[in-house]
Structure 1
Amino acid sequence: MAAEELVGPVPAGWEYTTLGAACQHGGGDIQTGPFGSQLHAADYVPIGIPSIMPLNIGDNRIVENGIARITPEDAKRLSRYLVRRGDIVYSRRGDVERCALVRNHEDGWLCGTGCLRVRLGDRGPDPRFATYYLGHPSVREWVVRHAHGAKMPNLNTGILGACPLVVPPPDEQRAIAHILGTLDDKIELNRRMNETLEEIARALFQSWFVDFDPVRAKAEGRDPGLPQRLADLFPDSFEDSELGEIPRGWGVGCVGDEFNLTMGQSPPGETYNELGEGLPFYQGRRDFGSRFPRQRVYCTAPTRFAKVDDTLISVRAPVGDINVAAEDCAIGCGVAAALHRTGSRSYTYQFMLAQEETFARFEGEGTVFGSIGKKDFHSIPCVVPPRNLVREFETRFGDIDSRVEVNEHESRSLANLRDTLLPKLICGDLRVPGAERYLERMTE
Structure 2
Amino acid sequence: MPDIKGAKPLATYISVKHGFAFEGRYFCDEPTPHVLVTPGNFAIGGGFQEVKAKYYAGPISQDYVLRSGDLIVTMTDLSKAGDTLGYPALIPTTKDRVYLHNQRIGLVSIIDPGQLDRGYLYYLLCSDAYRNHILATASGSTVRHTSPTRICDFSIVLPPMKEQQAIARTLRALDDKIEQNRRMGRTLEELAQATFKAWFVAFEPVKAKAAGHRTFPGMSTAAFSALPNHLMGSPHGSVPQGWAVRTLAEVFDINPPRRLSKGQDAPYLDMKNMPTDGHAPNSWERRPHGSGMRFINGDTLVARITPCLENGKTAYVDFLGDGEVAWGSTEYIVLRPKPPLPGVYAYCLARTPEFRDFAIQNMTGTSGRQRVAASSLNHYHIAVPDAVTAAAFGDLVLPLFKSIRAGKAESLKLAGLRDFLLPKLLSGALRVTSKAAS
Q: TM-score range by the shorter chain?
A: 0.7 to 0.9
Among residues 82, 92, 99, which one is paired with 2:65 in the alignment?
Answer: 82
Amino acid at match of 2:103: T
Deviation for aligned residue 1:44: 7.7
**Hey, what does 2:279 align to over in structure 1?**
291
What are the Cα deviations for residues 275-315 of structure 1, in whole angstroms up to 9, with x where unaligned? xx811222425444653223135224466421123211112
CA contact (8 A) 1:264 1:334 kept: no
**Hey, what does 1:312 align to over in structure 2?**
301
Structure number having the greater helix percentage: 1
Deviation for aligned residue 1:104: 5.4
Deviation for aligned residue 1:210: 0.3
CA contact (8 A) 2:364 2:372 kept: no
1:154 has 2:145 as partner: yes
CA contact (8 A) 1:421 1:435 kept: no
1:341 has 2:338 as partner: yes
CA contact (8 A) 2:364 2:370 kept: yes
Amino acid at match of 2:377: F
Cα distance in 2 for partners of 1:407, 1:435 equals: 29
CA contact (8 A) 1:17 1:164 kept: yes
SS in 1 for 2:255: strand
| Structure 1 residues 280-429: aligned runs within 5 Å | 280-288=267-275, 291-293=279-281, 294-296=283-285, 298-301=287-290, 304-317=293-306, 318-319=308-309, 320-325=312-317, 326-327=319-320, 328-342=325-339, 344-354=342-352, 355-363=355-363, 365-366=365-366, 368-429=368-429
| Structure 1 residues 200-211: aligned runs within 5 Å | 200-211=191-202
Deviation for aligned residue 1:336: 2.2
1:388–1:45 CA distance, 2 compared to 1 (3 A): closer
1:420–1:362 CA distance, 2 compared to 1 (3 A): farther
1:84–1:247 CA distance, 2 compared to 1 (3 A): closer
1:424–1:378 CA distance, 2 compared to 1 (3 A): farther
Deviation for aligned residue 1:253: 1.3
SS in 2 for 1:172: helix
Amino acid at match of 2:279: R
CA contact (8 A) 1:57 1:91 kept: yes
TM-score (norm: length of structure 1): 0.83
Amino acid at match of 1:230: A
RMSD over aligned Cα atoms: 3.1
CA contact (8 A) 1:33 1:116 kept: yes
TM-score (norm: length of structure 2): 0.84
**Hey, what does 1:238 align to over in structure 2?**
231
**Hey, what does 1:125 align to over in structure 2?**
116
**Hey, what does 1:274 align to over in structure 2?**
none
Cα distance in 1 for partners of 2:367, 2:101 equals: 37
The runs of 4+ residues in structure 1 deviating greater than 6 Å are 434-437
What are the Cα deviations for residues 362-395 of structure 1, in whole angstroms up to 9, with x where unaligned? 4564565121122113443222222332111111
**Hey, what does 1:140 align to over in structure 2?**
131
CA contact (8 A) 1:363 1:369 kept: no
What are the Cα deviations for residues 92-147 of structure 1, in whole angstroms up to 9, with x where unaligned? 21132332023555997322233111111434511111111111123213212212
Tell me, which stretches of 5 or more residues in structure 2 are unaligned?
Answer: 78-83
1:42–1:331 CA distance, 2 compared to 1 (3 A): closer
CA contact (8 A) 2:274 2:315 kept: no
What are the Cα deviations for residues 144-186 of structure 1, in whole angstroms up to 9, with x where unaligned? 2212111101122222221233422111111111111010000
1:368–1:31 CA distance, 2 compared to 1 (3 A): closer
CA contact (8 A) 1:345 1:398 kept: no
1:244–1:115 CA distance, 2 compared to 1 (3 A): same
1:96–1:304 CA distance, 2 compared to 1 (3 A): closer
1:281–1:377 CA distance, 2 compared to 1 (3 A): farther
1:34 has 2:23 as partner: no
| Structure 1 residues 53-132: aligned runs within 5 Å | 53-58=38-43, 60-70=46-56, 74-75=59-60, 78-94=61-77, 95-103=84-92, 109-121=99-111, 122-132=113-123
**Hey, what does 2:266 align to over in structure 1?**
279
SS in 1 for 2:398: helix
CA contact (8 A) 2:40 2:51 kept: no
CA contact (8 A) 1:57 1:98 kept: yes
1:54–1:41 CA distance, 2 compared to 1 (3 A): farther
SS in 2 for 1:113: coil
Tell me, which stretches of 5 or more residues in structure 1 are unaligned?
Answer: 24-28, 272-276, 438-444
Q: State, as a whole percentage, how many aligned pairs show the same letter.
A: 22
